[in-house]
Amino acid sequence: MQSYDSDRMVSLLEPFGYSPSDDIETANLVILNTCHIREKAEHKIFSELGRLRENKVEQEAKGEEYIIAVGGCVAQAQGDEITKQAPYVSIVFGPQNYHKLPEYLIHVLREQNKHHVDVEFPVESKFDHLPSVSETKAASFLTIQEGCNKFCHFCVVPYTRGAEYSRPVKALIDEAKHLVSVGAKEITLLGQNVNAYHGEGPNGRIWSLAELIEELALIDGLERIRYMTSHPRDMTDHLIECHGKVSKLMPFLHLPVQSGSDKILKAMNRRHNAELYYDIIRKVKEQRPDIVVSSDFIVGYPGEATEDHNLTLQLVQDCVDFGFSFNYSPRPGTPASVMPQIDDDIKMERLYELQALLQMKQLMAHQKQIGLMNEVLVEKEGKEPGQLIGKNAHWQSVVLEGDASLIGIIVPVKIKEAHQNSLSGILI
């Protein structure tokens, strides 16, 4: 979502003469669009700010402008604290305020040395104020929902992105058509809780994610639809059926479970048990037997015993093809952060064990593709000359040889080899 938001910031600033730069040392404006989900992400920002300060001193000594802005979820959570610790930061703005970026910038340019901190949750929707992008990648994002009302005990999202909000159906159909007209072949529908989507339809009735997907599938030129990130409690039968019926909905599902232990799921306030997860995966596979399933896991949550961890390993064995795993990171203001914590050594040991299993499962999922024809949406050039990289329908990376003119096109590729993080094959 930060990537989607960053692209919107670029379109907002283009009319003011700004354009994206590859050179952070000589840029005139640097915006850090930050993530607050784990402590590590937050620490990175302060070390990055230290480096930016040096650039600022150097550039300003040459008479050049160098404005530093911090946006996103750390900005939302820390507000004034950022300008106290790093007074050379001129603008601090939350994820619901970035449509006002040009306004902040004008203030900073007019009143030198003044800070602008805005971490309110505005009543108006920022989406009503965002201009359309003038070009887009073949695989594009579309935010359809933001925020969360679920309040899992480890998570800061409800505090940084705010309450659940779903964009109206018409605005989404219009934006999707526009994205297709400027180059998108694939759209990933985004939300912190994307399958809790409940947007207002054209006739005032509330639409579900399943209905929205069925409508988007009618758009000519849009070839692939994905959605991310979903919650087990919101996997309705209708949405599960879409995986069998809507051919543009890709055979890939990212469905975070966090733990395979009911005791830990309860302590996390996830309000679902492991059985529900097993049931959903079974039903989805009935609809789409070749679907690839990924998940997120938190290791070392307060109270997690060896048997809880073993249940997570079992769930990975049974349900998941690959996954993202994290050591539990206590977040300020969340209930789990004040509970007795698990030893770091134990956390690391469990994380390594889980990651080894996840890697094995990922390699196995890749091996299943050997000898098959994959439709690959070519996204970019690879590191070696003549190499291209794209994604197959299952969201797996595929490396092939071919001309750069294929970027943005879906091509047939015969898979020859499976690696840990990618597949390689021959363009047919």
Any contact of residue 319 with ligand SAH (CB under 6 A)? Answer: no
| β-pairing verdict for 67-71 and 91-93 | parallel
Identify the helix (H) or strand (E) that includes residue 102: helix 101-110
Q: Which does 296 bind (CB under 5 to 8 A by kind): ligand SAH, ligand SF4, none?
A: ligand SAH
CB of 67 to ligand SF4, least distance (A): 32
CB atoms within 10 A of CB 19: 7
**Cis-peptide, bond into residue 34, ω within 30° of zero:** no
User: Exactly one of 158, 191, 199, 260 binds ligand SF4 (CB under 6 A); which one?
Assistant: 158
The Cα–Cα gap between 360 and 317 comes to 10
CB of 246 to ligand SF4, least distance (A): 25
Q: Which value, to the nearest 10 degrees, does the dihedral of the CA atoms of residues 392, 394, 395, 401 take?
A: -20
Any contact of residue 152 with ligand SF4 (CB under 6 A)? Answer: yes
The Cα–Cα gap between 216 and 173 comes to 7
Any contact of residue 200 with ligand SAH (CB under 6 A)? Answer: no
Any contact of residue 328 with ligand SAH (CB under 6 A)? Answer: yes
CB of 159 to ligand SF4, least distance (A): 9
69 by DSSP, 3-state: which? Answer: strand
Any contact of residue 231 with ligand SAH (CB under 6 A)? Answer: yes
| β-pairing verdict for 410-418 and 397-401 | unpaired
> Given the rule CB under 6 A, which of 7-15, 28-36, 139-147, 326-334 is the region that contacts ligand SAH?
326-334
Task: Give the residue with the Cβ less far from ligand SAH, 194 or 423.
Answer: 194
Could you give the residue ranges of the DSSP H alpha helices within 111-195?
157-160, 169-181
User: Exactly one of 33, 97, 193, 369 binds ligand SF4 (CB under 6 A); which one?
Assistant: 193
| β-pairing verdict for 387-391 and 397-401 | antiparallel
Task: Give the residue with the Cβ less far from ligand SF4, 249 or 336.
Answer: 336
Any contact of residue 33 with ligand SF4 (CB under 6 A)? Answer: no
Could you say which residues in the range 210-239 bind ligand SF4, by CB under 6 A? Answer: 231
Any contact of residue 281 with ligand SAH (CB under 6 A)? Answer: no
CB atoms within 10 A of CB 125: 15
The Cα–Cα gap between 206 and 168 comes to 9
In angstroms, what CA-CA distances link 302 with 305, 338, 347, 426?
9, 9, 10, 48
User: Exactly one of 155, 225, 299, 316 binds ligand SF4 (CB under 6 A); which one?
Assistant: 155
Q: Directed axis angle between helix 344-367 and helix 306-319, to 10°?
A: 10
Any contact of residue 298 with ligand SAH (CB under 6 A)? Answer: yes
The Cα–Cα gap between 298 and 258 comes to 5
Any contact of residue 193 with ligand SAH (CB under 6 A)? Answer: yes
Task: Give the residue with the Cβ less far from ligand SAH, 42 or 223.
Answer: 42
> Given the rule CB under 6 A, which of 154-162, 303-311, 316-324, 340-348 is the region that contacts ligand SF4?
154-162
Q: Which does 311 bind (CB under 5 to 8 A by kind): ligand SF4, ligand SAH, none?
A: none
Which pair of tokens denotes residue 173? 């159909």
Beta-strand ranges (E) seen in 76-121 are 91-93, 116-118
> Given the rule CB under 6 A, which of 114-122, 129-137, 145-153, 350-358 is the region that contacts ligand SF4?
145-153
CB of 272 to ligand SAH, least distance (A): 10
The Cα–Cα gap between 99 and 52 comes to 24
Contacts of residue 304, Cβ cutoff 8 Å, sequence gap at least 6: 259, 261, 264, 328, 342, 350
The Cα–Cα gap between 108 and 113 comes to 7
Task: Give the residue with the Cβ less far from ligand SAH, 104 or 297.
Answer: 297
Any contact of residue 258 with ligand SAH (CB under 6 A)? Answer: yes
The Cα–Cα gap between 241 and 176 comes to 22
> Given the rule CB under 6 A, which of 149-157, 214-222, 242-250, 357-365 is the region that contacts ligand SF4?
149-157
Any contact of residue 159 with ligand SAH (CB under 6 A)? Answer: no
Any contact of residue 324 with ligand SF4 (CB under 6 A)? Answer: no
Task: Give the residue with the Cβ less far from ligand SF4, 229 or 367.
Answer: 229
414 by DSSP, 3-state: which? Answer: strand
> Given the rule CB under 6 A, which of 19-27, 150-158, 276-284, 377-385 is the region that contacts ligand SF4?
150-158
Q: Which does 151 bind (CB under 5 to 8 A by kind): ligand SAH, ligand SF4, none?
A: ligand SF4
Q: What is the DSSP letter of 201?
A: P
Residue 47 main-chain phi, psi, to 5 deg: -70, -35
Task: Give the residue with the Cβ less far from ligand SF4, 231 or 391.
Answer: 231
Question: Which residues are near ligand SF4 by CB under 6 A?
Answer: 148, 150-152, 155, 157-158, 192-193, 231
Question: Which residues are near ligand SAH by CB under 6 A?
Answer: 37-38, 154-155, 157, 192-193, 229, 231, 256, 258, 296, 298, 326, 328-329, 331
